[in-house]
């Protein structure tokens, strides 16, 4: 097997595994940029995965091949609604945002397993029948050399994740709404003085993070595991948080980090069968995203600073 | 006095609200909440076996709760208890299967190894917080996953030859007791509960009776003021994380040396570390509060296993209730606001 063939295996697998991380990390960017820490991304992904799979199983006959796409949209709505809990607790009730996020995670896994057992009478769902198909993108996959690597044997939804990163970058850095999000995350009092409704913008940030994490969870469930159980989402939400930090709270950075973590995951899965990687114990690849994030935070790879007001509730009139 | 009542009222109210919300969820899902809570109660106090298992579940909960609470008092959020617990578990078992020593040395050595491993694992976020101002929450989350993968690797490639669990520990390192087990109808109750209670007393003593504890709390209240008062903030941050990590490591050692007697590959987290956050929060970060909260949550977790035996209701309902209790405690501003409203009306 030559290197070109190896790339044709690794890269599509990398993009596929990275997509859920990118969606969720982009959600995290919205929330944290508006000043609300969202440790609950993991739980929101669980909700998304659960909703996506259950919808897919229930309505596969109705929607046919379009089922996964509709399921992703429904999961997005479910994630948004669930993230409302985090928004209410951390913005209106001024709860500790990390604690509220932990509660979201505990609640999500408890609630979804409760419902799975109620609906199916066992600890996991059946496998879904309507999956996202792997496709070769028209025209682009015909490009010599890179077409076979980057645009073949992938999911449409993965490419949407990458395009979405660019859209989110535009929204956050080029639109008034994005400016407001960044303002309430850096200096809410100044934003408030200028007439920006801090609570409203923060609600928008958290709800967007819920929507994106819902999509991320559903995409992960319908491309990787194809069923829902307590291990379907097993740290992907936290890895998305890592990607967001590693990408320095920047949408494009988060996408890059997501792709990189996707590569590490893909190597830890398919690496054992490839000539160049089989000598590396999988454990190094498994811990790479986490260790690299810690190193990035300490400033060895350029300093990563969180938005200034991130994690602090805004109380009007308090200096 | 009023303030003290408030401090007690909010946890109690949160528990009641949590149980009520759980009941509503069961009603909506078409289950009978009375049956569930009866089965839950029986699953804790029903017979001596259940009671023994409940106390066994409480043991690591106390220690994990103490770990979170201790860091909280210094203004640090140790969300990494889970990872520290896992490495503590492995280290304790490692000592337990490797050496052959008299029990008087072996058992304390194994427990201390667990504590030490937890301390080392917690020292990393402490150090990075003190030296580089990196937020301890993110670092310890990353270290949780690192711990999970590294311990799995060590178990299957270093301690065994590609097996999914280690040998059982030697009899001289075990916390298990035929006496306790016999008293509770063959449950896995072990001496760990004594260790946990001693640790709670140690935490109370350090925080309330020593200069170190005073400094740790001072840093938690106001870093700048403590620094101007001549305290070494960085040293206190590291110290707090290390002590917190020792408690977390002990929690792992209790599982390794008491409940299981071996370490096995984990596909996911034990959850004890995260539940420790709930325990600390409900216990208002005090030693006695943590012990009480651990008995509540540990009891609920153990009793939950009886719910699907006696009713058609999934035991996850208890996880939902616990999460909701955390939610209500965290949102105590809301409860406080309502109570203030009611009080004011009463005055008028």
Q: State mean pLDDT over A227-251.
A: 89
Residues of chain A contacting B333 with CB distance shorter than 8 Å = 93-95
Q: Report how many domains make up chain B.
A: 1
Residue B185 within a domain: yes
Residues 118-147 of B with CB under 8 A from A: 124, 128, 132, 134-135, 137-139, 141-146
Exposed / middle / buried, residue B46 (Cβ in 10 Å: 0-12, 13-18, 19+): middle
Question: Which ipTM value was assigned to this complex?
Answer: 0.85
Residue span of the structural domain in which B117 resides: 60-298
Residue B157 within a domain: yes
Residue B283 within a domain: yes
Return d(Cα A174, Cα A176) in angstroms, integer. Answer: 7
Return d(Cα B59, Cα B38) in angstroms, integer. Answer: 24
Q: Does A140 touch chain B (CB under 8 A)?
A: no
Look at A43-52, A110-119, B71-80, B133-142 and tell me which has the smallest mean pLDDT. B133-142
Residue B213 within a domain: yes
B287-304 helix and B272-282 helix, angle to the nearest 10 degrees: 130
B323–A235 CB contact, under 8 Å: no
Residue B144 within a domain: yes
Q: Name the CATH architecture for the domain at A3-298.
A: Orthogonal Bundle (1.10)
Q: Does B85 touch chain A (CB under 8 A)?
A: no
Domain range annotation of chain A: 3-298
- Dump the DSSP string for A266-303: HHHHHGGGSTTTTTS-HHHHHHHHHHHHHHHHHTTTS-
B81-98 helix and B48-73 helix, angle to the nearest 10 degrees: 120
Q: What is the pLDDT of residue B348?
A: 46
Retrieve residue A147's tokens. Answer: 């077409």
Mean pLDDT, chain A, rounded, equals: 88
Residues of chain A contacting B136 with CB distance shorter than 8 Å = none
Tens-level pLDDT at each residue, chain B (348 residues) = 556 666 788 888 899 999 999 999 999 999 999 999 999 999 999 889 999 999 999 999 999 999 999 999 988 989 899 999 999 999 999 999 999 889 899 999 999 999 999 999 999 999 999 988 888 888 998 899 999 999 999 999 999 888 889 999 998 889 988 888 888 888 899 999 999 999 999 999 999 999 999 999 999 888 889 999 989 999 999 999 999 999 999 999 999 999 999 999 998 888 899 899 889 988 989 999 999 999 999 999 999 999 999 999 999 999 999 999 988 888 877 777 777 777 776 554
B132–A234 CB contact, under 8 Å: no
Per the DSSP assignment, residues forming a β-bridge with B190 are: B176
Residue B238 within a domain: yes
Cβ neighbours, 10 Å, residue B54: 24
Could you read off the pLDDT of A201-222 as tens digits, one per residue?
Answer: 999 999 999 999 999 999 999 9
Residue B1 within a domain: no
* Closest CA–CA distance from residue A127 to any residue of chain B (Å): 20
Q: State mean pLDDT over A230-235.
A: 87
* CA nearest to A165, candidates A286, A14, A270, A26: A26
Q: Does B331 touch chain A (CB under 8 A)?
A: yes
Q: What is the pLDDT of residue B3?
A: 62
Q: Does A297 touch chain B (CB under 8 A)?
A: yes
Return d(Cα A17, Cα A258) in angstroms, integer. Answer: 9
Q: What is the pLDDT of residue A32?
A: 93
Q: What is the pLDDT of residue A225?
A: 87
Look at A6-20, A87-101, A227-241, B4-18 and tell me which has the smallest mean pLDDT. B4-18
Residue B290 within a domain: yes
């Amino acid at each position: 097997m030559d290197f070109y063939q190896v790339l044709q295996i690794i890269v599509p697998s990398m993009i596929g595994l990275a997509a859920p991380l990118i969606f969720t990390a982009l959600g995290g960017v919205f929330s944290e940029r508006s000043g609300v820490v969202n440790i609950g991304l993991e739980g929101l992904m669980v909700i998304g995965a659960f909703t996506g799979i259950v919808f897919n199983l229930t309505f596969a006959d109705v929607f046919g091949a379009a089922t996964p796409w509709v399921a992703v949209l429904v999961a997005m709505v479910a994630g948004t609604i669930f993230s409302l809990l985090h928004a209410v607790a951390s913005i209106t009730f001024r709860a500790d945002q990390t604690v509220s996020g932990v509660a979201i995670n505990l609640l999500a896994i408890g609630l979804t397993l409760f419902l799975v057992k109620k609906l199916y009478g066992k600890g996991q769902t059946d496998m879904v029948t309507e999956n996202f198909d792997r496709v070769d993108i028209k025209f682009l996959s015909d490009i010599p050399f890179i077409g076979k690597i980057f645009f073949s044997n992938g999911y449409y939804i993965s490419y949407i994740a990458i395009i979405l990163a660019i859209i989110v970058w535009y929204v956050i850095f080029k639109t008034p709404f994005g400016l407001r999000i960044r303002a309430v995350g850096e200096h809410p009092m100044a934003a408030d003085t200028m007439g920006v409704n801090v609570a409203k913008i923060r609600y928008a940030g958290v709800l967007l993070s819920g929507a994106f994490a819902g999509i991320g969870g559903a995409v992960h469930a319908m491309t990787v595991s194809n069923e829902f159980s307590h291990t379907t989402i097993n740290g992907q939400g936290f890895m998305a948080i890592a990607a967001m930090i590693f990408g320095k709270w920047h949408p494009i950075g988060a996408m890059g980090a997501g792709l990189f973590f996707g590569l590490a995951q893909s190597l830890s899965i398919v690496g054992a069968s490839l000539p160049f990687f089989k000598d590396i114990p999988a454990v190094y690849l498994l811990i790479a995203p986490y260790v690299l994030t810690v190193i990035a935070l300490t400033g060895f790879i350029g300093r990563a600073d969180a938005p200034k007001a991130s994690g602090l509730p805004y109380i009007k009139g308090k200096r | 006095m009023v303030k003290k009542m408030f401090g007690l009222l909010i946890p109690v109210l949160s528990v009641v609200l949590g149980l009520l919300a759980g009941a509503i969820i069961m009603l909506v899902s078409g289950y009978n909440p009375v049956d569930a809570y009866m089965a839950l109660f029986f699953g804790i106090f029903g017979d001596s076996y259940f009671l023994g298992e409940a106390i066994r579940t409480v043991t690591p909960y106390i220690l994990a709760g103490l770990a979170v609470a201790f860091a909280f008092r210094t203004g640090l959020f140790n969300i990494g208890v889970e990872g520290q617990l896992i490495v503590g578990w492995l280290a304790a078992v490692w000592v337990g299967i490797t050496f052959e020593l008299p029990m008087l040395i072996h058992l304390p050595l194994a427990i201390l190894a667990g504590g030490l491993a937890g301390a080392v694992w917690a020292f990393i976020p402490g150090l990075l917080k003190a030296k580089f101002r990196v937020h301890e929450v993110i670092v310890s989350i990353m270290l949780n996953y690192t711990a999970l993968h590294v311990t799995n690797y060590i178990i299957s490639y270093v301690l065994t030859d590609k097996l999914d669990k280690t040998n059982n520990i030697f009899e001289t390192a075990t916390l298990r007791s035929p006496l306790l087990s016999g008293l509770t109808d063959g449950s896995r109750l072990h001496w760990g509960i004594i260790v946990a209670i001693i640790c709670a007393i140690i935490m109370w003593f350090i925080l309330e009776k020593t200069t170190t504890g005073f400094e740790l709390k001072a840093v938690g209240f106001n870093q700048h003021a403590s620094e101007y008062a001549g305290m070494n903030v960085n040293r206190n941050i590291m110290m707090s994380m290390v002590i917190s990590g020792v408690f977390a490591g002990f929690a792992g050692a209790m599982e390794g040396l008491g409940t299981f007697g071996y370490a096995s590959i984990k596909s996911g987290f034990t959850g004890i570390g995260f539940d420790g956050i709930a325990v600390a929060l409900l216990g208002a970060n005090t030693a006695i509060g943590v012990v009480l909260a651990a008995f509540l949550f540990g009891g609920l977790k153990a009793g939950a296993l009886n719910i699907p035996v006696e009713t058609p209701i999934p035991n996850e309902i208890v996880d939902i209730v616990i999460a909701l209790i955390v939610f209500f405690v965290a949102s105590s501003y809301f409860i406080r606001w309502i109570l203030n409203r009611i009080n004011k009306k009463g005055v008028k």
